[in-house]
Structure 1
């Protein structure tokens, strides 16, 4: 895990050097508000740490670091395509009975949102595009062993510090290891956040998944508090919070967990 995180840290440092001291014309509050918008025209590199427990019959535990770079690409005067990647790096123990420890990469989820550069007349911000599941897991207990694809969409509105919206996708498997279960899963992430004039952000969301193959819900509810700060000339959002598993499949996580996020921002 140390080597993986070192490599990611080097990549973030390189991005910072490439962007120099540029803050653009955005204030701290403006940047924090953009960070609440999944399709904002802002390069961001989050490292999201999640801890969960009570997994499986032996009450196993899991620590996942999600590396989640977001890169907007200008297509023309009116449209962006936003690349959002989720690469999990996981350590877990006894999550399938006395299964011991596993550490390594999980499966990558890669999404592309085609989004107008300006909100609609009613202030609605939206994006739509494809999502892909790439079987990069280094252990069978860290991923599904399947290639997958499907649609993804995000819709939100921002007003007077508030951001309210939903991000969703559905992924079907179409190839991969024949002895692994097929995947047909819907992900729903309704969210509401409030950003103060001094760049504090309070967020409530769920990251719910419905497994159509097993007819089971997975529903963690997250509440986080974040603050945009500067390290030298580098803007960074630091976020911490708790998650509660309102519902999970048999053998899934239970009770409370924790979340910490460090997000490096690279405004134009």
Structure 2
């Protein structure tokens, strides 16, 4: 089962990489500063495939190290001249130590999160986007996810003013578990 999940994840990643490679470059007449800011914009009108690595120390009873590599393809879709829908997927590849004495290290894929933001095509002032996030129970091992579907709102607000060397803002979402599971637990994540 874990091998099948890894193969499917590799197919999705390959398809997204191919789409990014075949897309026409939107950066033909942009300065290096504008491209750098656009690459940091989670609702920018640019196909991108960022990787984010998070390393957590002193995890578990033996103070092990957990590593989470988030593969985060961002794909904009033009709705019309005024609006874009920006899709952002987070696929976590996790390696973590055992959480019980005598247990083994766990490696695999965690729960995938998909967000779709509606955002102005030509922002005036601050850049913003609003939408929904869906969490899918795609974990390859029970220790790497919660086996529950989740759904909630998502919002992003950024400052990317021309001439300002700083990019700052926030991206926030809240995920509530939906449907029934094998137990009575309920999840609520504010990220």
Please, what TM-score do these two structures have when normalized by structure 1? Answer: 0.62
Map of 1:104 onto structure 2: 108
TM superposition shift of 1:53 = 1.9
> How many residues were matched structurally?
184
CA distance in structure 1 between the partners assigned to 2:24 and 2:128 by the alignment = 30
Question: Higher relative CO (CA 8 A, sep ≥ 6), structure 1 or 2?
Answer: 1
Gap runs ≥5 in structure 1: 188-268
Distance 1:13 1:125 in 2: 26
Q: Gapped runs of 5+ residues in structure 2?
A: none
| Map of 1:70 onto structure 2 | 74
Q: State how 1:85-234 maps to structure 2 within 5 Å.
A: 85-120=89-124, 123-159=125-161, 160-179=164-183, 181-187=185-191
Distance 1:167 1:21, change over 3 A: closer
Partner secondary structure for residue 81 of structure 1: strand
Give the CA deviation at 1:59.
1.1
| Contact 2:76–2:86, Cα closer than 8 Å, also in 1 | yes
CA distance in 2, matches of 1:145, 1:132: 13
**For the Cα contact (< 8 Å) 1:145–1:176, is it kept in 2?**
no
> Structure 1 residue 93: deviation in Å?
1.8
Structure holding more strand per residue: 1
- Runs of 4+ displaced beyond 3 Å: 3-13, 19-23, 95-98
Is it true that 1:46 corresponds to 2:54 in the alignment?
Answer: no
Which residue does the alignment assign to 1:251?
A: none
- TM-fit CA distance, 1:22: 7.2
CA contact (8 A) 1:61 1:95 kept: no
Query: For the aligned residues, what is the CA RMSD?
Result: 2.5
Aligned to 1:220: none
In 2 relative to 1, CA 20–149 (structure 1 residues): closer, same or farther, beyond 3 Å? closer
Give the distance between the partners of 2:32 and 2:75, measured in 1 at CA.
20
Sort the Cα spacing of 1:81 and 1:22 in 2 relative to 1 into closer, same or farther, 3 A.
closer
- Contact persistence 1:147–1:175 (CA under 8 A): yes
Return the offset for 1:74: 0.4
